[in-house]
Amino acid sequence: MNYAILDIETTGGKYNEEGITEIAIYRFDGHGIVDQFCSLINPERSIQPFVVNLTGINNEMLRNAPKFYEVAKRIIEITENAIVVAHNAQFDHRILATEFDRLGYEFEKDTLCTVELAKKLIPGKESYSLGKLCRSLGIPISDRHRAQGDAMATVTLFKMLLARDTTKEIVTQTVRKDPKRQLEPKLLELIDKAPTDTGVYYMHRADGSIIYIGKSKNIRKRLIQHFTSDNRKSKKMQLEVSEVTYEKTGSELIALLKESEEIKRNKPLFNRALRRSLFTYQLSSFTDDLGYLNLKIEKADSRKKAVTTFSNFQQAKSSLYRITEKYQLCQKLTGLYETKTSCFLHSIKECHGACIGKESPGSYNERATQFLDEHSYANKHMLIIDHGRDIDERSVVLIENGKYIGFGFFNLNYQINNPEVLKSIITPMQDNRDSQHIIQTYLRKNKVLKIINLATHKVD
């Protein structure tokens, strides 16, 4: 059995707007620790004063710490095929899932909560807070309210709970949650036939009708998740699915675009969520009375011109923090810090002072305009070249006048340097705000092999 026993410290603040300041994860195989990861994290936002008093972690300590996206891969690795164990696991899992959601990655793990387990296996305690419970059980905690100390105490507590669990309830729960548990032969056969490639997959009833369309970087792995999940929707799909067909795309961007368009065309029964718009917020720009270019997150509105779009408010805010830092913009002028005086970044000497008129509009607007030029989708003419379905193939997505025209594939043995020839192999697709959102979001988060600017015929 593999468990990822963890503890997270956060900035505090509004629900689902918290940022992680420190994380500690111990991978535990039921007997001992086999791997560990501990790190401070720069949350890209200020810490609530009461949290600073509680943990001792302050903004200055985190200035040079890695940001979440820099440690995300390590977190995925150490929690792979493991059940997340934490004291108040619902909180820690929610915080992690929110951070990954801001990166556009679905982080969904089965969890075990040591608060709930302790209440069942060690009843009658006055308090089940980690500090008081450990003190009553003689479990030492060093660095209370720091991730490493609390996570290590949770490891010791979990070992004790395993030992006290004479009815083997914890292990039984773990086996029940294990993705390798017994599946129906029909579902195992569908998994065995599926490729491990990137692409779009289609679940069919016996009469051939499509009940679900999905995309994945590893189709087989995604089907295992569908067929081992206990949620209501998955259980219904498991009963109704008779066949799974798939199309390899090589490129995740093309898989996302195909999935979106084909869901709209086929309206599968179990894709209700994706029939709605993929984004709810957008970034707009305006010039204020003093001549400074401002950025603003607002609810998605097709009547207004958007610089870029976001799936949710958390993703928008997290991206805007990164944009503000990368282009050395002012938090007051990007709407991240409400103040009548200087912004937070100015107090730590990372803003040049546009918030208090110290930096001229002309100087500030150069950097703001650079961001807009690089990220605004309007009037773009480009070819996005990325991996194809095989090693000797490349994929291409065509954008003209800021509109998504379609995608295609070409063989590397036939070097195509002329954009006009490349355009001739494009399969036409629908341009809509969802497809534009997918492309903008993908380019914001991922590297592609190259982008050919059709206006200049130069490779960016």
Mean pLDDT confidence for 235-240:
91
The CB-based long-range contact list for 121-126 (8 Å cut-off, 24+ gap) reads: 121/161, 121/164, 121/165, 122/161, 122/164
Q: Report how far residue 207's alpha carbon sits from residue 214's, in angstroms, rounded to the nearest whole number.
A: 19
Whether 241 and 113 share a structural domain: no
Instruction: Give yes or no for residue 335 having a pLDDT over 50.
Output: yes
Structure confidence by residue, pLDDT tens digits, 372-408: 887 776 667 888 999 999 888 999 999 988 889 999 9
Instruction: Give yes or no for residue 215 having a pLDDT over 70.
Output: yes
Instruction: Give yes or no for residue 184 having a pLDDT over 50.
Output: yes
Retrieve residue 351's tokens.
Answer: 């803003």
pLDDT at 177: 57
DSSP 66: P
At residue 176 the predicted structure's pLDDT band, cuts being 50, 70 and 90, is: low
Which structural domain, as residue segments, surrounds residue 391? 382-459
Q: Report how far residue 229's alpha carbon sits from residue 270's, in angstroms, rounded to the nearest whole number.
A: 15
Whether 450 and 314 share a structural domain: no
Structure confidence by residue, pLDDT tens digits, 97-116: 889 888 878 888 888 999 99
Show Cβ contacts of residue 88 under 8 Å, excluding neighbours closer than 6 positions: 113, 115
Whether 455 and 408 share a structural domain: yes
Structure confidence by residue, pLDDT tens digits, 242-290: 999 999 999 999 999 999 988 988 889 888 755 456 678 889 899 999 9
Measured from the Cβ of residue 70, the count of other Cβ atoms closer than 10 Å reads: 12
Retrieve residue 214's tokens.
Answer: 């999905």
- Tell me which of 240, 256, 275 is where a domain ends: 275
Structure confidence by residue, pLDDT tens digits, 43-102: 988 888 888 888 899 988 998 999 999 999 999 999 998 999 999 999 999 999 889 888
Q: Report how far residue 286's alpha carbon sits from residue 304's, in angstroms, rounded to the nearest whole number.
A: 12
Whether 247 and 261 share a structural domain: yes
Of residues 106 and 131, the one with the higher pLDDT is 131
Q: Report how far residue 133's alpha carbon sits from residue 137's, in angstroms, rounded to the nearest whole number.
A: 6
pLDDT at 179: 47
At residue 459 the predicted structure's pLDDT band, cuts being 50, 70 and 90, is: very low
- H and E: helices and strands count for the chain: 18, 17
List beta partners, residue 102: none
- Tell me which of 275, 307, 342 is where a domain ends: 275
Q: Please report, as a single letter, which amino acid is at residue 222.
A: R
Whether 173 and 61 share a structural domain: yes
Mean pLDDT confidence for 222-231:
85
Retrieve residue 406's tokens.
Answer: 């379609």
pLDDT at 458: 46
Instruction: Give yes or no for residue 180 having a pLDDT over 50.
Output: no
- What pairing do the DSSP bridges indicate for beta strands 20-28 and 3-10? antiparallel
At residue 35 the predicted structure's pLDDT band, cuts being 50, 70 and 90, is: very high
% of the chain exceeding 70 in pLDDT:
93
Assess contact for 440 and 282: CB atoms under 8 A.
Answer: no
Instruction: Give yes or no for residue 342 having a pLDDT over 60.
Output: yes
Structure confidence by residue, pLDDT tens digits, 432-450: 888 888 998 888 877 899 8
Q: How many domains does the chain have?
A: 4
pTM (two decimals): 0.58
Mean pLDDT of the chain: 87
Torsion angles phi and psi, residue 305, rounded to 5: -75, 125
The CB-based long-range contact list for 168-176 (8 Å cut-off, 24+ gap) reads: 169/120, 170/112, 170/117, 171/1, 173/112, 174/1, 174/3, 174/83, 174/112
Whether 29 and 173 share a structural domain: yes
At residue 173 the predicted structure's pLDDT band, cuts being 50, 70 and 90, is: low
Of residues 1 and 125, the one with the higher pLDDT is 125
Whether 330 and 425 share a structural domain: no
Q: Report how far residue 229's alpha carbon sits from residue 251's, in angstroms, rounded to the nearest whole number.
A: 27
Whether 286 and 232 share a structural domain: no
